[in-house]
């Protein structure tokens, strides 16, 4: 999709389909809907007058209505062939994420109709009375719209031999050039949105790959190719280096597969250097390219989805994709520990004792709790590389899905400042994370009778917390944020703004968290 920013009058822009946004001004719980267009064009308002007054369109989030302008009165001055009205929900609840989803809805609606060219008008807050619509900056408006559009366009039916070609060739985001400052803000947001969306789509493309294609070696090769293109440092190691570093927790998982593991280290250095006392941020991702559960094998039902067990690693690689182009003034190191978890004759067994790189001994109670083993060595290794602040992402526990469902991912931290910085990014990223505890009083849940710790909790209760407590053992006093994205890494249901398939969750939030530490 060729996405362009256009400064023009929407009335005069010639296109196959023009999308405008609408909100519901009704405020009471049972109040009748009052849809209103977010455009100051009287011509578009006239074209939509009958529809908006009919009660048929309520401007709910993701709701659409199509008007053929040739069939509408008083539209001779409009150059668009069709008008697509896209609902954003209640005016009082308007947000960046609602705008992102609304833009995605417009793109998906155009694709369904095999429209090749689409224009989307920027929302005009002045179209409704003052105070009814929260104010959003021009930069963030442009960024959210680009992200929503670019994330909505791909369909993840990559391996279908009869894929339908319904790609939108040209997308135009249209706004008026009110003044030079406004124009610069919009251009900045547009450029940022393209970068972040491309990074998230790269992450989604990795998560979508089947395990027989995206092996740990192939994941390393794709990360290296990305780094070479973006000017990032990159080293990809395998079995010898992992054993040399005494990463026995990581190796315990990897040794059960015929596919060799990959230890991927990606480095971003600010061009002008960072201050001497500046933080060094460590991004650590779980990269299990297929998870059978090992000897503690998973049930067959749903096991095919375990190709997505590297979504945390993909999020970190995608974040580095964006960081290289946004150029924050802070050093960032990403560590990805990638392997398969297989039930080979050499695989780890329940009851085994392994020694992590940190020297901590671990009793293996369940081989399907393998993600925390590779992350344990990854987190410790990041600290040895000089990282002063850590964030990890992993499809770590089903327990987190039970606790939070599929609308929010789990958020854990040992440091209030680092966690607050992450939570503050969510207003921009629009991603759902809910903080859960990992305080020291949970520590006894992972205490082993024959080793320092065990890789599961003493019972099934609070499983996501037990996993977080396990990881906490390997970060010491280093400020650390842990993201359990198991419930949100894959969209099981098609949404008006997103297709079925990989979500790319955490990329936007991680990028903003990194930028919050930037010296400029």
User: Which among 58, 116, 224, 298 is annotated as catalytic?
Assistant: 298
CA dihedral 360, 366, 367, 373 (to 10 degrees): -30
Is the residue at 489 inside a domain?
yes
Q: 318, 325, 335, 302: which is closest to 207 by C-alpha?
A: 318
DSSP for 138-190, written as a single string: HHHHHHHHHHHHHHHS----TT-TT-------EEEEEE----HHHHHHHHHHH
Q: What single DSSP character describes residue 498?
A: B
168 and 270 share a domain? no
Is the residue at 397 inside a domain?
yes
User: Which among 100, 372, 383, 472 is annotated as catalytic?
Assistant: 372
**What 3-state class would DSSP assign to 505?**
coil
Residues whose CB is less than 8 angstroms from the CB of residue 370 and which lie 6 or more positions away in sequence, other chains included: 253, 288, 291, 294, 341
Lowest mean pLDDT of 70-79, 140-149, 311-320, name the range: 70-79
CATH at 471: 3.40.630.10
160 and 283 share a domain? no
Q: pLDDT tens across 85-124, in order?
A: 999 999 999 999 999 999 999 999 999 999 999 999 999 8
159 and 302 share a domain? no
Between CA 206 and CA 203 the distance in angstroms is 5
**Domain span including residue 455:** 237-515
Q: 320, 1, 13: which is closest to 146 by C-alpha?
A: 1
277 and 163 share a domain? no
What stretches of 312-406 adopt beta strand conformation (E)? 331-341, 353-355, 361-363, 389-394
| Beta-strand pair 15-24/35-37 | antiparallel
CB 194 within 8 A of CB 3: yes
CB 370 within 8 A of CB 397: no
377 and 298 share a domain? yes
Is the residue at 210 inside a domain?
no
Question: pLDDT over 90 for what percent of the chain?
Answer: 87
Is the residue at 202 inside a domain?
no
| Tokens linked to 73 | 């009165």
95 and 173 share a domain? yes
Q: pLDDT tens across 115-172, in order?
A: 999 999 999 877 776 677 888 999 999 999 999 999 999 999 999 998 888 899 999 9
163 and 280 share a domain? no
Question: Is pLDDT at 39 greater than 70 in this prediction?
Answer: yes
Is the residue at 55 inside a domain?
yes
419 and 274 share a domain? yes
CB 150 within 8 A of CB 198: yes
182 and 325 share a domain? no
Is the residue at 487 inside a domain?
yes
Residues whose CB is less than 8 angstroms from the CB of residue 119 and which lie 6 or more positions away in sequence, other chains included: 6, 10, 13, 15, 17, 18, 19, 80, 171, 172, 173, 174
Q: Give catalytic status of residue 163 as yes or no.
A: no
Q: Give catalytic status of residue 346 as yes or no.
A: no
Q: How many domains does the chain have?
A: 2
Domain boundary among the residues 148, 168, 197 is at 197
Is the residue at 278 inside a domain?
yes
Is the residue at 378 inside a domain?
yes
């Amino acid at each position: 999709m060729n996405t362009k920013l256009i400064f023009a009058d929407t009335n005069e822009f010639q296109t196959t389909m023009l999308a405008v946004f609408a909100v519901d001004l009704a405020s009471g719980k049972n109040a009748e809907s009052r849809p209103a267009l977010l455009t100051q064009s009287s011509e578009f308002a006239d074209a939509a007058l009958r529809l908006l007054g009919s009660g048929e369109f309520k401007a709910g989030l993701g709701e659409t209505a199509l008007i053929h302008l040739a069939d509408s009165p008083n539209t001779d001055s409009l150059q668009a062939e069709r008008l697509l009205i896209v609902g954003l929900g209640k005016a009082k609840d308007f947000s960046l994420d609602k705008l992102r989803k609304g833009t995605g809805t417009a793109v998906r609606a155009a694709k369904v109709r095999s429209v090749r060219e689409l224009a989307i008008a920027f929302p005009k807050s002045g179209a409704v009375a003052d105070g009814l619509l929260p104010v959003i900056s021009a930069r963030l408006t442009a960024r959210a719209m680009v992200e929503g559009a670019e994330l909505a366009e791909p369909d993840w039916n990559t391996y279908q031999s009869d894929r339908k070609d319904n790609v939108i060739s040209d997308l135009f985001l249209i706004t008026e050039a009110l003044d030079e400052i406004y124009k610069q803000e919009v251009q900045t947001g547009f450029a940022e949105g393209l970068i972040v969306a491309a990074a998230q789509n790269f992450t989604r493309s990795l998560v979508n790959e089947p395990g027989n294609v995206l092996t740990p070696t192939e994941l390393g090769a794709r990360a290296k190719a990305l780094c070479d293109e973006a000017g990032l440092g990159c080293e990809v190691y395998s079995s010898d280096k992992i054993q040399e570093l005494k990463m026995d927790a990581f190796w315990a998982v990897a040794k059960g597969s015929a596919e060799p593991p990959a230890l991927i280290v990606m480095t971003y250095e600010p061009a002008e250097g960072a201050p001497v006392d500046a933080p060094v941020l460590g991004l650590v991702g779980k990269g299990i390219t297929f998870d059978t559960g090992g000897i503690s094998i998973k049930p067959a039902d749903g096991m095919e989805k375990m190709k997505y067990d590297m979504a945390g690693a993909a999020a970190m690689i995608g974040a580095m994709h964006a960081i290289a182009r946004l150029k924050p003034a802070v050093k960032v190191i990403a560590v990805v520990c990638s392997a398969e978890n297989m039930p080979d004759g050499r695989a780890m067994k329940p009851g085994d004792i392994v020694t992590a790189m940190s020297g901590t001994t671990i009793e293996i109670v369940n081989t399907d709790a393998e993600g925390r083993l590779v992350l344990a060595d990854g987190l410790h290794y990041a600290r040895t590389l000089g990282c002063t602040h850590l964030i990890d992402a992993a499809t770590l526990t089903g327990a987190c899905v039970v606790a939070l469902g599929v609308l929010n991912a789990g958020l854990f931290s040992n440091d209030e400042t680092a966690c607050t910085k992450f939570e503050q990014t969510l207003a921009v990223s629009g991603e759902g994370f809910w903080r859960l505890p990992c305080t020291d009083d949970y520590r006894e849940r992972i205490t082993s009778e024959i080793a320092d710790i065990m890789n599961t909790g003493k019972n099934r209760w609070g499983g996501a917390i037990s996993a977080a407590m396990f990881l906490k053992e390997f970060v010491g006093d280093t400020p650390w944020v842990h993201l359990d994205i198991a419930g949100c890494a894959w969209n099981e249901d098609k949404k008006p703004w997103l297709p079925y398939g990989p979500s790319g969750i955490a990329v936007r939030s991680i990028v903003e968290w990194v930028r919050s530490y930037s010296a400029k």
